[in-house]
Amino acid sequence: MQKSRTGVTDDAGRHAKWSGRLVGLVAVLAMVNFVVDSAITAPLIVLPEMLDHFGTDQPAWLNATAMLAGVAWAPLLGKSADIHGRRRVLVLALLLSCAGAVLCAVAPSIWLFVPGRMLQGASLAAVFLSVAIVRGVCAPRIAMIIVGIVTSGSAVLNIASRFLIEKLATQFGFQILFLGSAFVAVVMAICVHKLVPDSPVRTPGKIDFGGALLLGGGLAGVLGYISLGSDLGWLAVAPLALLVCGIAALARWLLTSSRKPDPLIDIRELSGPLVLTLLVVFLAAGSYQSVLQLIPLVGDVSAGQHLGYGLADQGSVALLLAAPGVGVTLGGPAAGWIAARVGPASTLAGAVLLGTVVTIGMFLGVSQLPVALCCGFLLGVTVGALGTSGFNMAGSLASPERQGIVSSLVMVMVSIGSVTLDFVGAAVLKSTSVVVDGETTRSVTGVFSYIAIAAGAFAIAALLAVRLVRSTRLGTGSPSRELQRDAV
């Protein structure tokens, strides 16, 4: 890479070193990712209040619809960003999230609230569009570090906001959460429009709306069955209809996308290393999400119940929920820094190996608080490192004009993995439950089986990650060579 006279940008006009403008860009994009939390996960805090308000006992409709819709939005918005510009589409995603939040705040019934949550799901695009913007305006070496900061930097804000949301919801009702989310989304949309530069790189072509509808609807249908089946019944009409329609849509998408000259995702151009990367992300994301789901469950049980696990009487269990957040904040930037030196493939493999070891450590962590705190923190580091490394790895394998759609695939795999492994873990716990003092509770067999499944998925991901490292070292277009060219 040839340095410019200022030494701050390269010949392509991309940021090559830290500057005031770059710091401002990072701050804006980190706050953009905070919008995602306020739209997707923060409503879990007021879930009981929402169930009472709408008079329903189906929490999945109130919560899961945002994530499912986000998976459906991702490919469409990713492709649109490559064609029409990443900044423009990011602003659109934030405004859609704002509109959905307002709709949720004023919804008189669940039938209006659910469409609002579906609009909020568009905010999920903010994660991968932020990554695509960073890779477009920054040189590869510094981009890897910034991706870690942007995707993980809002974790501390997420922890702090939980306490504020809980207090405000008590005083003003759960609607205040959605009004706050709408306000943050519109403010960040203005900031992105005013402060974030747009990449001049464009992909010629048009958007395959039919393919987007088939792929997004198919993914949402299959995941909807997995997410809603446990609440509504696996053989109930609505979940089964979602599953059948989802499979049919995906089959139709595969058939038509192989024939179109400009499909939404050209599966013929998916390289072996990219497919390996997506598989690693799918398995690892699902594994760490399932373990994170297990931590509060074992933290709610006392060892005095003699179930063979439990942490409730060993100290401040609240630390269990805070430790992963701190780890995420550190793990993302650290993974970016390491990737800039050894390459994203090796960093991704290291993150997966760390996750495997930490998950195995949870066999002791479910009954010993110090071990659980250590594992929780390291699992957070794993989460941050995996997200950063996954985006960096996929981005390094994509051409500049395909950064949006490729980054969206990473987000889709994270979501699918999380939903799938969460379901598998929940099913294991339910099938192995025992009755103690007249109450049904989770058995130690179920808890250990749960951990074993997560560790097994991590181990498979580790094997795939090692193969990925070998394939990128042998490949002519490997990320390591991209970094070498950047250093010239």
Q: What is the pLDDT of residues 127-168, one digit of tens each?
A: 999 999 998 888 888 999 999 998 887 776 776 676 777 778
Query: Is residue 177 located within the same domain as residue 214?
Result: no
Residues 6+ apart with CB under 8 A from 108: none
What does the alpha-carbon distance between residue 448 and residue 470 come to, in Å, rounded to a whole number?
33
Query: Is residue 377 located within the same domain as residue 477?
Result: yes
List alpha helices for 258-343, DSSP H.
Answer: 272-299, 318-342
What does the alpha-carbon distance between residue 98 and residue 94 come to, in Å, rounded to a whole number?
6
Q: What is the largest CA-CA distance in the chain?
A: 76
User: What is the average pLDDT score of the chain?
Assistant: 85
Query: Is residue 240 located within the same domain as residue 123?
Result: no
Residue 222 has a CB neighbour count (10 Å cut-off) of 23
Buried b (16+ CB within 10 A) or exposed e, 274-304: bebbbbbbbbbbbbbbbbbbbbebbbebebe
With the CA atoms of 218, 224, 227 and 233 taken in that order, what torsion angle do they form, in degrees rounded to the nearest 10? Answer: -120
Query: Is residue 298 located within the same domain as residue 364?
Result: yes
Query: Is residue 109 located within the same domain as residue 2?
Result: yes
Residue 401 has a CB neighbour count (10 Å cut-off) of 16
**55 in helix, strand or coil?**
coil
Q: Which of 466, 460, 473, 457 is nearest to 348 (CA)?
A: 466
Look at residue 266 in the predicted model and tell me its pLDDT: 79
What does the alpha-carbon distance between residue 235 and residue 243 come to, in Å, rounded to a whole number?
10
Query: Is residue 229 located within the same domain as residue 140?
Result: no
Look at residue 106 in the predicted model and tell me its pLDDT: 94
In the chain, how many domains are there? 3
Where residue 3 falls among pLDDT bands split at 50, 70, 90?
very low
What does the alpha-carbon distance between residue 328 and residue 311 come to, in Å, rounded to a whole number?
23
Query: What integer is the mean pLDDT of 477-482?
Result: 47
Range of the domain at 247: 208-263
The answer to whether residue 202 scores a pLDDT higher than 50 is yes
Tell me the residue length of the chain: 488
Where residue 475 falls among pLDDT bands split at 50, 70, 90?
low
Query: Is residue 182 located within the same domain as residue 292?
Result: no
Query: Is residue 339 located within the same domain as residue 387?
Result: yes
Of the chain, the end-to-end C-alpha distance in Å amounts to 5
Q: Which residue is associated with the tokens 């580790």?
A: 462
For position 322, which CATH number holds?
Answer: 1.20.1250.20
Residue 115 has a CB neighbour count (10 Å cut-off) of 15
Q: What percent of the chain has pLDDT over 70?
A: 91
Query: Is residue 245 located within the same domain as residue 370?
Result: no
Strand partners of residue 439 = 436
Query: Is residue 453 located within the same domain as residue 374?
Result: yes
Look at residue 329 in the predicted model and tell me its pLDDT: 87
Query: Is residue 335 located within the same domain as residue 450?
Result: yes
Strand partners of residue 434 = 441
The answer to whether residue 7 scores a pLDDT higher than 60 is no
The answer to whether residue 352 scores a pLDDT higher than 80 is yes
Query: Is residue 403 located within the same domain as residue 442?
Result: yes
Query: What integer is the mean pLDDT of 356-370?
Result: 93
What does the alpha-carbon distance between residue 324 and residue 326 come to, in Å, rounded to a whole number?
5
What does the alpha-carbon distance between residue 39 and residue 120 come to, in Å, rounded to a whole number?
6
Residues 6+ apart with CB under 8 A from 161: 34, 37, 38, 42
